[in-house]
Amino acid sequence: MIELDVSRIKNIPGGKEHFLKDFEMRPIDTGIEEIFFNKPVALDLTILNNDGLLNLTGKLEGNVRLACSRCLEFFDMLVFAEMEEVYYNESQNNDLSADDGGEWISFKGDKLDITTEVVKSLLYALPMKLVCRQDCRGLCQNCGVNLNASCCHCPKEETDIRLQVLKQLLEEKE
């Protein structure tokens, strides 16, 4: 759990605190794959008390290890993410309607638990295609050999997915 102590500034409008911290992260299971952390995630965050609301801004850097979606080999990647969140004190802002606080995150006590927001920011910062390198050749569909490391003697198949779909459509027509 990633927590920031805001006891010094939570009651002082205009109060500001800078957090420069490294946090150990547990692997994230996205349901599709697992993302491991080679190093603690480095956070560089500022929290400003804006009329009782805590505005968090800053950036984070993670060194992650994940499996290539083409060749399934593990590879490392640096991830940089920006964070921008607003937290409100549950015990102070009782008059906040749900509408006002739609985008805001509530907190209690002296600590902000920012774990969820950190995970979200990291996932959001990942590229759509998780490949070990742009020209990764992946695995042979037929024999499963890693085509980056060696080649095989399987008959060359048409790998362009668009052509495959087109072929299917044409076959269905006949």
In sequence order, which residues have a C-beta less than 8 Å from that of residue 26 and are 6 or more positions away? none
State yes or no: residue 66 binds Zn ion (CB under 5 A). no
Q: Name which of 137, 143, 117, 126 is nearest 70 in CA terms.
A: 137
Residue 60 beta carbon to Zn ion: minimum distance, rounded to whole angstroms = 26
Q: In one letter, which amino acid is 125?
A: A
Q: Which residue has the tokens 């006891």?
A: 7
Alpha carbon 146 to chain centroid, angstroms: 28
Q: Count residues near Zn ion (CB under 5 A).
A: 10
Among 142, 159, 164, 168, binds Zn ion (CB under 5 A): 142
- For 54, other C-beta atoms within 10 Å of its C-beta total 23
State yes or no: residue 67 binds Zn ion (CB under 5 A). no
State yes or no: residue 78 binds Zn ion (CB under 5 A). no
Task: Between 61 and 73, name the residue whose CB sits nearer to Zn ion.
Answer: 73
State yes or no: residue 143 binds Zn ion (CB under 5 A). yes
Q: In one letter, which amino acid is 118?
A: V
Residue 12 beta carbon to Zn ion: minimum distance, rounded to whole angstroms = 51
State yes or no: residue 9 binds Zn ion (CB under 5 A). no
Q: Which residues lie across from 112 on neighbouring strands?
A: 4
Contact residues toward Zn ion (CB under 5 A) are 68, 70-71, 132, 136, 140, 142-143, 152, 154
